[in-house]
Amino acid sequence: MGKKKILIDTSVLIDIQRGTKRTVETFDTLKENAVISRITACEFMYGSRNTEEKDINKDFLEQLPIVEITPHVSKLAYRLLDKYALKFNVGMADALIAASAIYNDLKLWTLNRKHFEKIKEADLF
């Protein structure tokens, strides 16, 4: 069996886009095991500042396998929001991303650890 797959959060994609050396090098070593959530794909496209950047972002996203939001993932996200939203200010997108990682048994690579570290069920990379 191969290495455990890694779900990449939007913060990592933005850091890659900015050309941050350490993040780019880390991504290059694990890109065969990298996947993203449909929510991350949506956030990354939404963050495009112009048509040229949108086209570049779209080309990049099309190279990554996407984990879809299934009924199981959405129900798990609901439970995570019930458990963590008020106490730790966990948002809907982060709950869906975390639920995607948890349900699919993926490590979660994020640069916004404070958004996810309170979700004990998540296995952070």
Give the three-class secondary structure for 107: strand
CB 39 within 8 A of CB 70: no
68 vs 118: CA distance, rounded Å: 23
Give me the residue spans of the domains in the chain.
6-124
Residues 95-119 have pLDDT tens digits of 999 999 999 999 999 999 988 999 9
pLDDT at position 2: 60
Mean pLDDT across 39-48: 95
pLDDT at position 1 is: 47
The pTM is what?
Answer: 0.92
Query: How far is C-alpha 38 from the chain's CA centre?
Result: 8
The CATH number given to 6-124 is 3.40.50.1010
User: CA 71 from chain center: how many Å?
Assistant: 18
Instruction: State residue 115's pLDDT score.
Output: 84
What gap in Å lies between CA 55 and CA 60, rounded to an integer? 9
pLDDT tens per residue, range 51-77: 999 999 999 999 999 999 999 999 999
